[in-house]
Amino acid sequence: MRAVVQRVSRAEVKVKDEVVGSIGQGLVVLLGVGDEDGESDLEYLADKVTGLRIFEDEAGKMNLSVKDVEGEILCVSQFTLYGDARKGRRPGFTRAADPGEADRQYRLFCERLREKGMTVATGEFQEMMDVELVNHGPVTILLDSKKNF
């Protein structure tokens, strides 16, 4: 499972020009599910995202998590995180989970975040979405449950 995590001052996601999810201060999580991902990958990333200390404390150091600052999370499914562009110019997506399994794990991931006390807004699975955000910092972190990076 892979995630691009961005610290934001606000964000929203639209489907067909209609806002389906929005947050204030917090994190945007673009989540990709791989074909070999399971429960342990989901748990690892949910723990990592909620505990990631990328918000500034009173001294200006990144020591606080999204939970510490009472932030929110906007989670958007993004299978293209498993795009492989090492050969040719068009990425292949053979390592991405099939849509049914990816949707199931995406929903479970969002539920785990909620179980950890987070307010979670979402996009809509398998829809063309427009994600608008203000990346505060900017701060962007890449996470991979297989620890490839």
Q: List phi, psi (to 5°) of 44.
A: -55, -50
Q: Which of 79, 105, 109, 122 is catalytic?
A: 79
Q: Give me the catalytic one of 6, 50, 78, 105.
A: 78
Q: Tell me how many helices (H) and strands (E) the chain has.
A: 2, 8
SS3 of residue 107 by DSSP: helix
140 is catalytic: no
6 a catalytic residue:
no
The yes-or-no answer on residue 78 being catalytic is yes
Output Rg (C-alpha) for the chain, integer angstroms. 15
Active-site residue set: 78-80
